[in-house]
Amino acid sequence: MLVSIKALYFVKDKLINQTFNVMIKHVPFKFFVYSILISLVFACKNDTKIVENKYEIGADTINFQWQKLKQGGITINHGAILIPVTLEGIDKTFKMQLDLGINHNVIYGDTLAAITSAYPELQNNIQHRDGYEVFYNRIQFSNHQLAKEDSLLVRENFGKSENLKDFDIIGTLGANEIKNKILLIDFRSQQLVITNKLEDWEEDTFSFTPLSFKNNQLYLDLIAAGNKHAFVYSTQASLFPLATIDANLFKNITEAKNSETKQLKSWGEEISFAGSDITTKIRIANVNLPINNKKAFFTDAKKVSEVLKTENIKGVIGSDLFMNNTIMIDLVNNRFGIK
């Protein structure tokens, strides 16, 4: 069994100064990803034992959970990826969402208030900056692996403030946790691993395509209708398995029957998405993706099209297309692996 690591976070200008400008440098693109196709909801050594060229559940395995989300009348069974964590000085297991769309770990402000109310000494871990706060604490995953960063930006007026016993989701783990590392996600087993290096036999089991990671987004090629198309893979809760602004691509990979229309709000405007069943093979590298009962969606909304065209991409794909696969996000060798 191959084991594998990996809500809503809108960055407010008033919370971030020049230290964190990298997080808001490309706000228009991030707002597209988060407000339209993403559901609007809230360094370790690989020491796994190998038995007959398979992983055992070892010390570096992190089990994750799915959170079911709803948005605009759509239910997303595979919504947020939640990772069990503990904080130093607190005898309780929490959960944090892995979100590669942001560049820093985040803790929800109202939740932090509840934590410091129960553990007043942790108030000393909060540092005030120019317009924002940072909470310092060591995050430990369920496999006793320490998170790479010990600073969490405080997201004000967000989260829950009830009794500490009554909630468990406290924040978000960002892309900083996997930079210059390799992330494996085994969707079938709901297991994750972060590592620095893979075994040779393990690399041979994957099919690879180049991966570009910029603006905290994962850019890769989707092969459809005989051509390569640049897409963003969203590790968050994409509302649709595949969404595109390319009318010809949409027409070539779908059929008109069983079509539907979704209306979603973004920036105060209604955005219309037309969806139809995917009927033509689509793949990444040499691996065909499951398309049975999967729909692709198309929009020609001006704001959406303008933003994606600026980035030279055709659309966004979500994790729903990988439920039968294991994927590799390799930020050491800049490649995306799938098997």
For residue 58, is pLDDT > 80? no
| Cα 251 from Cα 283, distance rounded (Å) | 17
With respect to residue 186, please indicate whether it lies within any of the assigned structural domains.
no
The answer to whether residues 173 and 210 belong to one domain is no
How far is residue 304's CA from residue 180's CA, in Å, rounded to a whole number? 31
57 versus 329: the higher-pLDDT residue is: 329
pLDDT over threshold 90, residue 270: no
Q: Which of 246-250, 260-264, 312-316 ranks highest by mean pLDDT? A: 246-250
- Note the pLDDT of residue 94: 95
Full domain range(s) for residue 251? 206-338
Question: What sign results for the dihedral spanned by CA atoms 160, 163, 135, 83?
Answer: negative
Choose the weakest-confidence range: 37-41, 103-107, 248-252. Answer: 37-41
DSSP 8-class letter at 289 = P
Which residues share a beta bridge with 96? 83, 171
224 shares a domain with 172: no
Please give the helix or strand (H or E) that residue 306 lies within, else none: helix 302-310
Q: What is the pairing mode between strands 133-136 and 139-141?
A: unpaired
- Residue 144 placed within a domain: yes
Asked if residue 4 is part of any domain, the answer here is: no
| 211 and 161 part of one domain | no
Under 8 Å CB-to-CB from 75, ≥6 apart: which residues?
Answer: 68, 69
Q: What's 53's domain CATH number?
A: 2.40.70.10
- Pair (50, 154) in one structural domain: yes
Domain presence at residue 185:
no
pLDDT grade for 150, boundaries at 50, 70 and 90: very high
Together in a domain, 158 and 275? no
pLDDT computed for residue 34 by the predictor: 37
Given pLDDT bands bounded at 50, 70 and 90, which one contains residue 102? confident
pLDDT of the residue at 60: 74
Q: Of 39-48, 103-112, 194-203, where does the model show the most confidence?
A: 103-112
Q: Mean pLDDT lowest for which of 73-77, 105-109, 191-195, 313-317?
A: 73-77
Q: Is residue 259 part of a domain?
A: yes
Which of 112-116, 256-260, 277-281 has the least mean pLDDT? Answer: 256-260
| pLDDT at residue 238 in the model | 64
- Pick 67 or 83 by higher pLDDT: 83
How much of the chain, in percent, has pLDDT values that exceed 70? 80
Q: Answer whether residue 191 is part of any domain.
A: no
Mark whether 18 and 165 lie in a shared domain: yes
Q: Does residue 3 fall inside a structural domain?
A: no
pLDDT at 237: 55
Alpha-carbon torsion (194, 200, 206, 209), positive or negative: positive
> How many CB atoms lie under 10 A from the CB of residue 209?
18
Residues 75 and 132 in one domain: yes
pLDDT of residue 153: 95
- What's the whole-number mean pLDDT along residues 27-50? 33
pLDDT digits (tens, 9 = 90+) for 11-26: 222 233 333 333 333 3
| Average predicted confidence (pLDDT) for the chain | 80
How are beta strands 139-141 and 260-266 bridged, if at all?
unpaired
pLDDT of residue 235: 75
Helix residue ranges, H only, 163-269: 200-204, 247-253
Q: Clarify whether residues 311 and 164 are in a common domain.
A: no
pLDDT of residue 135 exceeding 60: yes
Nearest Cα neighbor of 232 from 221, 245, 219, 215 is 219
Of 88, 92, 112, residue with least CA distance to 165: 92
Residues 50 and 156 in one domain: yes
- The DSSP call for residue 321 is G
**pLDDT, mean of residues 110-128:** 94
Average pLDDT over residues 134-146: 91
pLDDT value at residue 198:
84
Half-sphere exposure of residue 264: CA atoms within 13 angstroms, side-chain side: 24
Quick one: pLDDT at residue 9?
28
132 and 31, same structural domain?
yes
Question: Does 221 lie in the same domain as 78?
Answer: no
Between CA 191 and CA 189 the distance in angstroms is: 5
For 52, the enclosing helix (H) or strand (E) is none
Paired residues of 296 in beta bridges? 242, 276
pTM score: 0.80
| Mean pLDDT confidence for 87-93 | 92
Number of domains in the chain: 2
3-class SS of residue 86: strand
In a domain, 332, yes or no: yes
Q: Are residues 114 and 169 in the same domain?
A: yes
